A and B are shown apart, each in its own frame.
Chain A
């Protein structure tokens, strides 16, 4: 394999990469999207908890075991 075949910035140097290799910018954007999704899911958990308490009231905790 010649030097021209090496992937720039790829940790394996001259190893042929498998699949799609993300650029640093793509990795940064994917991480930002993942964090945004995590925050939205956390906010939805809080929302469903709050609505449950509002709709059912404190009695939601009083139930036969």
Chain B
């Protein structure tokens, strides 16, 4: 039997394969490379940036911008999985991802990610405008080179600085719709930027073993859980008034003011619980609650901004 044929029939489905071997990847594996859940949050926040931006934008152009931003986010996810495959393989949360599972080779993920990254930026630049394309290119660069390749394995401040990558989408959406940047788009950026540390550190508190095993210097691994709880509280104290600022600056209505105030108070309460409950099951429950609620909190803030922007036109309010 030939060497190729013997490799073909002797190798288990998930064994590492030489580059000349046929791909095992399914369409679902390529979809998983895009990190669809992260992508959905990017689409949502970018949509808010588009609808809140001043001026009129044709729905087809708005859809094109949203599509390019989504694909750019997916490209970032694929390139992140390509670079971090070694880390993903040893973390329980990520070991089933397509590359460590053996379904997609690193080369396939790199080619897929680069194609989508270049394609999304080019299409956004050609069909929408140059500023939004430049911002999208910078976002992908920031996420892959600054965060994934540099900060993630080097400093416990990785997700603080790297959080900027996740905060750019509403700004890209705003630039796509208006051709410029405004104070409100900067506020949307800052809300996500200051939301990221308490969100990720709450997760890191009960997954610190995972990060330690992978050698990722997350704050609980490097500075301990007490310092992490203190930092979570500090960032939440900064985040809550910042999230209410669009209302106080007259950029958002009473509905936003109410929702941001009530949900911000809850966010703060949960952060205080994380700070005070430091031992045993109660500590883990507090961290899990804060992590879960932080997602709802950000969703509520942006959902109300979206509704306030479209309600007058759609419902004659």
Could you tell me which A residues sit within 8 Å of B by CB distance?
Answer: 4-5, 7-8, 16-17, 19-23, 25-26, 29-30, 32-33, 36, 47-48, 50-51, 54-55
Residues of B within 8 A of A (CB-CB), count: 22
Decide: A20 and B60 in contact? CB cutoff 8 A. Answer: no
8 closest pairs, A vs B, by CB? A54-B60, A36-B27, A51-B127, A29-B26, A32-B27, A26-B22, A50-B60, A54-B58
With A7-B5, A21-B5, A32-B27 as known contacts, state yes or no: A51 contacts B21, CB within 8 Å: no
Interface: B67 (CB within 8 A): yes
Contact A17–B5 (Cβ < 8 Å): yes
B11 CB, min distance to chain A CBs, angstroms? 11
CA distance A42 to B1 in the complex (A): 42
Q: Are B64 and A20 in contact (CB under 8 A)?
A: no
Name B24's contact: one of A7, A16, A19, A29 (CB within 8 Å). Answer: A29
Q: Is the CB of A51 within 8 A of B61?
A: yes
Q: List 9 A-B contacts (CB under 8 A).
A: A7-B1, A20-B21, A26-B22, A26-B23, A29-B23, A29-B24, A33-B25, A33-B30, A55-B127
* Interface contact B23-A20, CB-CB below 8 Å: no
Residues of A within 8 A of B30 (CB): 33, 36
Give chain A residues whose Cβ lies under 8 Å from the Cβ of B56.
none
Q: Which of B20, B22, B25, B27 contacts A22 (CB 8 A)?
A: B22
Q: Which residues of A contact B24 (CB under 8 A)?
A: 25-26, 29
Collect the chain B residues with CB atoms within 8 Å of residue A55's CB. 127
Contact in complex: B2, A17 (CB < 8 Å): yes
Query: Are A51 and B8 in contact (CB-based, < 8 A)?
Result: no
Interface residues of B (CB under 8 A from A): 1-2, 4-5, 8-9, 13, 20-27, 30, 58, 60-61, 64, 67, 127
A36 to B30 Cα, complex, angstroms:
10
**Interface pair B60/A30, CB less than 8 Å apart:** no
Which of A20, A47, A51 is close to B22, meaning CB atoms less than 8 Å apart?
A20
Question: What is the distance, in angstroms, from B246's C-beta to the closest C-beta of chain A?
Answer: 31
Structural contact, A21 and B64, CB atoms closer than 8 A: no
Report A-chain residues with C-beta under 8 Å of the C-beta of B58: 54
Complex: A25 Cα to B25 Cα, angstroms: 10
In angstroms, how far is the closest chain B Cβ from the Cβ of A9?
10
A47 touches B21 (CB 8 A): no
Say whether B61 contacts A19, CB under 8 Å: no
A21 touches B26 (CB 8 A): no
Give A25 to B22 CA distance when docked, in angstroms.
11
CA distance A61 to B75 in the complex (A): 36
Q: Is the CB of A51 within 8 A of B64?
A: yes
Q: Which residues of B contact A32 (CB under 8 A)?
A: 26-27
Q: What residue in chain B is nearest A48 (Cβ atoms)?
A: B127
Q: Which residues of B contact A36 (CB under 8 A)?
A: 27, 30
Question: Which listed residue, A20, A30, A47, touches B8 by the CB 8 Å rule?
Answer: A20
**CB pair A51 B60 closer than 8 Å:** yes
Contacts of A48 in B (CB 8 A): 127
B26 cross-chain contacts in A, Cβ below 8 A? 29, 32-33
A48 to B296, CA, bound (A): 36
Complex Cα gap A17–B22 (Å)? 15
